Amino acid sequence: MPTVARLSLSPVKGLKLLHPESIEIGLDGVPGDRVFYLVDDEGRMVNGKLVGELVQVEARLDAGLDRLTLRFPRDGGGGAVGGVGGGTDGGTVVEGDTRALGAAVETSFYGRPVTGRVVEGPFAEALSETAGRTVRLVRADRVSSACDVLHPVSLLSRGSCEELARRSGDPRLADDRRFRMLIVVDGCAAHEEDTWAARRVRIGDAVIEVAGDVGRCVITGHSPDTGRTDADTLKAIAAYRGAPEGRISFGMYADVVAAGRVRVGDPVTLL
């Protein structure tokens, strides 16, 4: 039986993934996932596609989703700014209350407008130093609106990643973290999740309805540890799956039908 192998989220879009043992999935998505995103001076989205090194910055939110802690790597990020302390690994820690909000911002997420408010405090300065450009931290107005699409759940099987690695001859492509999916499933045949389109699936206590495939971008070619390009993942996927009308897909999106808790090891059952 297929089971949940990994859960992945990030409070700030484009930053390092966290892998909790369980998550609570609401009808609008996961509270605490992609609560924040980054913009430049013109209000345009800044993500890992533009600044891959952002994936080295870890973001954690408290249970109330109001206090954010950023941990920067030893060799970069964060200057001597307010709210900064030393991390246990020698890196920099920036933390603060995210309820201090400033100007309203509207940002295009691939043509879809997302609204939010700029977060005041030490975050912008520290993140700008890592990004090598001026960025601001924005708190999205709605749960999951800072995800790339309107479907709040994404899932992928490890079997698909292993098939990609086998076909390409590159074992690094078996690492499912490259695809930054909310739920990774084990115990499936390669691309079995594709056959779940328009089907309902029970995952732990939640029920989702699979909406369609995930179009991939160049960020999948970045190392999930450094954010630097180390593989041509898109070419590898297209070589055996094709690219109809220029679209390269890998994994599936889903909507939430019934909210509930999902844990690593939970069964994944087609309804």
Q: Is the pLDDT of residue 34 over 50?
A: yes
Phi-psi region of 181 (alpha: psi -120 to 50; beta: other; left: phi over 0): beta
What pLDDT score does 110 carry?
84
What pLDDT score does 16 carry?
97
Counting Cβ atoms within 10 Å, is residue 98 exposed (0-12), middle (13-18) or buried (19+)?
A: buried
pLDDT grade for 147, boundaries at 50, 70 and 90: confident
Condensed to tens digits (0 to 9), the pLDDT of residues 195-232 reads 999 999 999 999 999 999 999 999 999 999 999 999 99
In a domain, 196, yes or no: yes
Final residue before a domain boundary, out of 110, 140, 170: 140
pLDDT grade for 144, boundaries at 50, 70 and 90: confident
Q: Are residues 125 and 186 in the same domain?
A: no
What is the rounded average pLDDT of the residues 153-172?
98
Final residue before a domain boundary, out of 115, 140, 165: 140
**Range of 90-94, 111-115, 204-208 with top mean pLDDT:** 204-208
What pLDDT score does 112 carry?
87
Euclidean distance between CA atoms 61 and 98, whole angstroms = 10
Note down the domain range covering 68.
36-140
Tally the domains of the chain: 2
Final residue before a domain boundary, out of 140, 168, 192: 140
Phi-psi region of 74 (alpha: psi -120 to 50; beta: other; left: phi over 0): alpha
What pLDDT score does 117 carry?
96
In a domain, 29, yes or no: no
